[in-house]
Amino acid sequence: MDGAVDGDVLLVGCGNMGRAMLQGWLAAELVRPECVYVVEPSAALRNLAGALGVRTYAAAAALEPGLSPRIVVLAVKPQAITDVLPSYRPHVRGCVVISIAAGIPVSALEAGLGEIAAIRAMPNTPAAIGKGSTVLFANDRTRPEQVEQATMLLSACGAVHHVEQESLIDAATAVSGSGPAYVFHFIECLADAGQRLGLPPETALALARETVAGAGALAMSSDTPPDELRRQVTSPGGTTEAALAVLMEDSAMRTLLISAANAAHRRAADLAAPTTPA
């Protein structure tokens, strides 16, 4: 397997994001199933992972004591991470640890695991269909080839962007990590508006979904900036202009999204607080 991970991969937590990433790695043949070790307490989720051909374990204590993976991926909830870390200390020497836990700083990973090469990554759920956006930050102990391998793994789920400042991971969380939920809510609201104008519910929902998917694909299909795309579909005195006058009055939509992203950003800081050394 050219361009594959050279060694074992240990995935801790195989819920929504963990499984989405695992499926992406296997589909892209970046890892061989027999080289992937998955720790997941839920029997149902372990079975789903096991069906993909990987090795599964209910807890860290069940792993082979000598297991020394090339990459460890932490995909448990931020609230669980402090409890989880110490049991992986025996397995992280010489590897790179990638954590996708929102808000958990590298300092917290080091507090639990010791001096490690650590990468904080923020993926999003379109990763499940290979259309994700992941932002990553690597600490100073991470060697260039480790960053390269981590980037390769995360690329199986979509685009990967690097940031040089760790604080920007929380900014990315507020935009792309939580962002799909904002878009899903936009679809709900647009469908609701369609229903109120008399469309049958299923037609309104189909139109809202297709419009968001189609406009997103159009926005990705060229370098034309979104404000220009907007102007192209806004005829003077037309229907779109009438709607945009409402959305853009006093920067209404911009202000709302900035407030929403700020709330997500503050929450990321709150999640970090209990584990950040004073």
Ligand X SMILES: NC(=O)c1ccc[n+]([C@@H]2O[C@H](COP(=O)([O-])OP(=O)(O)OC[C@H]3O[C@@H](n4cnc5c(N)ncnc54)[C@H](OP(=O)(O)O)[C@@H]3O)[C@@H](O)[C@H]2O)c1
Binding site for ligand X (CB under 6 A): 12-13, 15-18, 39-42, 45, 75-78, 80, 84, 100-102, 122-125, 177
Among 224, 121, 100, smallest CA distance to 168 is for 121
Strands 36-39 and 9-12: parallel
C-alpha–C-alpha distance, residues 203 and 191, integer Å? 8
C-alpha–C-alpha distance, residues 147 and 211, integer Å? 37
Q: With helix as H, strand as E and coil as C, how does 188-227 read?
A: HHHHHHHHHCCCCHHHHHHHHHHHHHHHHHHHHHCCCCHH
Residue closer to ligand X by CB (options 35, 80) is 80
Task: Output the six-digit token pair for 70.
Answer: 């090339």
178-184-188 Cα angle (round to 5): 145
Residue closer to ligand X by CB (options 16, 232) is 16
Q: How far is the CB of 105 from ligand X (least distance, A)?
A: 13
Q: How far is the CB of 176 from ligand X (least distance, A)?
A: 8
Q: How far is the CB of 174 from ligand X (least distance, A)?
A: 11
Residue closer to ligand X by CB (options 106, 122) is 122
Amino acid at 106: V
Q: How far is the CB of 26 from ligand X (least distance, A)?
A: 17
Please give the distance of CA 157 from its chain centroid, rounded to a whole number: 9
Residue closer to ligand X by CB (options 44, 197) is 44
Q: How far is the CB of 253 from ligand X (least distance, A)?
A: 23
Q: How far is the CB of 13 from ligand X (least distance, A)?
A: 3
Residue closer to ligand X by CB (options 104, 204) is 104
Annotate 68-91 with b (16+ C-beta within 10 A) or e (fewer).
ebbbbbbbbebeebbebbeebeeb
Residue closer to ligand X by CB (options 77, 93) is 77
> Residue 117: helix, strand or coil by DSSP?
strand
Residues 6+ apart with CB under 8 A from 80: 13
